[in-house]
Amino acid sequence: MFNRIFIEKDLRDNPRAKAILNRFSSLPVKEIDAIDDVFQKVKKPYLQKRDNLNLFLGTKKGKLVKEAPDAYGLSGDPHYYFIHAYNCIYECNYCYLQGYFHSPDIVLFLNHEEIANEIEAIAKEQIEKNPTTTPWFHAGEFSDSLALSHITGELPFYFEVFKNLPQGKLEFRTKSANVKNLLELSPLPNVITSFSLSPADKIKKNDLKTPSLKARLSAISKLAKHGHPIGIHFDPVIYDHDFKEKYTNLLKDLTQAISANEIEYISIGVVRFTKDVYQQVKMNYPESELLAEELIKAEDGKVRYARAMRMWILQTIKELCLEAGIDSEKIYLCMED
């Protein structure tokens, strides 16, 4: 998976770092002072992730938990995301990380205790301000939350944190089917695993190197049977002349894996790019179907389908969700005004 490991000197004796190094004992390891001294210092093309990927282990400095953008989650509650990794082993052709970092190398931050301290402080402040609020914390903003969880091993730690923070909610967002570690943990009502799903052919074409729809649905079914709360993201939706039929079938398969009333929420978002990511997509995937439809620069600077088309797609899929038995208050439209 990796060519080389870079590790910050201070983490030499860190048990989490040692466990990761043990897993990759045959790889060359280089000690560095700080990740920022090496990571992104030389621009590394995104597609080099296919055959030249390094792993960095370090400590995240600065703000560890940040306010999430509008429409990030169910409305009415404050939403935050925390940063415990940069980049991803998968290769979705629309991934915004390709225009975000100057390198696809994977960075894992191991100071989870400090992240948890910030989470607890924010939750306390929010609850003091409004005792009925539910502060949400989302993992996986700059990576996939579960894809490497068998290697990183932080899941039990976060479960313990949120066991003691019942008013807060934690979301692990993923496209993986890597749920073995989750299945070993006792479910918590406030720790939600959410899966991004698309019709099977879209996953094959666009979510490169990710588990198939079948594998993700099987993971959802196993987790739900085990009692883990499940969220779903239909995001990004990529237009196709028969998208309605495809999402009808997807919802049929989904509600066979987990009953509609067991799903905590479904978000729906249409494909969108920042200007930089759009340039990268054109360069990295010129033949992609992402570029087949007309895209416009929207008021928020993002490149998207025209507003009328977006609204039509979102409403159509929302209707399908309602028909599949999902309660309307569990459905939210992602990143739309």
Nearer to ligand SF4, 44 or 78 (CB): 44
Amino acid type, 137: F
**CA dihedral of 277, 282, 284, 285, whole degrees rounded to 10:** 120
Residues near 46 by Cβ (< 8 Å), separated by ≥ 6? Answer: 97, 98, 104, 280, 284
**CA dihedral of 298, 303, 309, 314, whole degrees rounded to 10:** -100
Shortest distance in whole angstroms from residue 30 CB to ligand SF4: 25
Residue 138 binds ligand SF4 (CB under 6 A):
no
Choose the stretch contacting ligand SF4; rule: CB under 6 A; options: 92-100, 120-128, 226-234, 237-245: 92-100
Nearer to ligand SF4, 38 or 88 (CB): 88
Quote the CA–CA distance of 206 and 200 in Å, as a whole number. Answer: 10
Choose the stretch contacting ligand SF4; rule: CB under 6 A; options: 84-92, 125-133, 227-235, 267-275: 84-92
Shortest distance in whole angstroms from residue 183 CB to ligand SF4: 21
Quote the CA–CA distance of 117 and 64 in Å, as a whole number. Answer: 10
Residue 97 binds ligand SF4 (CB under 6 A):
yes
**Number of neighbours of residue 66 by Cβ within 10 angstroms:** 14
Shortest distance in whole angstroms from residue 328 CB to ligand SF4: 27
State the residue for tokens 């282990």.
57
What mask, x for binding ligand SF4 by CB under 6 A, covers residues 141 to 170? --xx--------------------------
Residues near 61 by Cβ (< 8 Å), separated by ≥ 6? Answer: none
Measuring CA to CA, how many Å separate 198 from each of 14, 76, 93, 214, 305?
39, 27, 14, 11, 18
Nearer to ligand SF4, 30 or 209 (CB): 209
Shortest distance in whole angstroms from residue 147 CB to ligand SF4: 7
Using CB under 6 A as the binding rule, the residues of this chain from 296 to 335 that contact ligand SF4 are: none
Structure tokens at 187: 């479910």
Residue 95 binds ligand SF4 (CB under 6 A):
yes
Nearer to ligand SF4, 173 or 330 (CB): 173
Shortest distance in whole angstroms from residue 179 CB to ligand SF4: 15
**Number of neighbours of residue 188 by Cβ within 10 angstroms:** 19
335 dihedral zone (left: phi>0; alpha: psi -120 to 50; beta): left
Nearer to ligand SF4, 8 or 141 (CB): 141
Report whether the peptide linkage leading into residue 286 is cis, meaning its omega lies within 30 degrees of zero.
no
Structure tokens at 207: 């979510």
Which residue among 44, 53, 91, 109 contacts ligand SF4 (CB under 6 A)? 91
End-to-end Cα separation, the chain, in angstroms:
40
Which residue among 6, 39, 90, 247 contacts ligand SF4 (CB under 6 A)? 90
Please state the separation of Cα 181 from the chain's center in Å. 17
Shortest distance in whole angstroms from residue 210 CB to ligand SF4: 6
Which residue among 83, 88, 106, 263 contacts ligand SF4 (CB under 6 A)? 88
Choose the stretch contacting ligand SF4; rule: CB under 6 A; options: 86-94, 187-195, 239-247, 299-307: 86-94
Shortest distance in whole angstroms from residue 278 CB to ligand SF4: 15
Structure tokens at 224: 């739900």
State the residue for tokens 């479910």.
187
Structure tokens at 275: 């200007």
Shortest distance in whole angstroms from residue 334 CB to ligand SF4: 14
Which residue among 175, 228, 272, 304 contacts ligand SF4 (CB under 6 A)? 175
Shortest distance in whole angstroms from residue 49 CB to ligand SF4: 9
Site of interaction with ligand SF4 (CB under 6 A):
88, 90-92, 95, 97, 143-144, 175
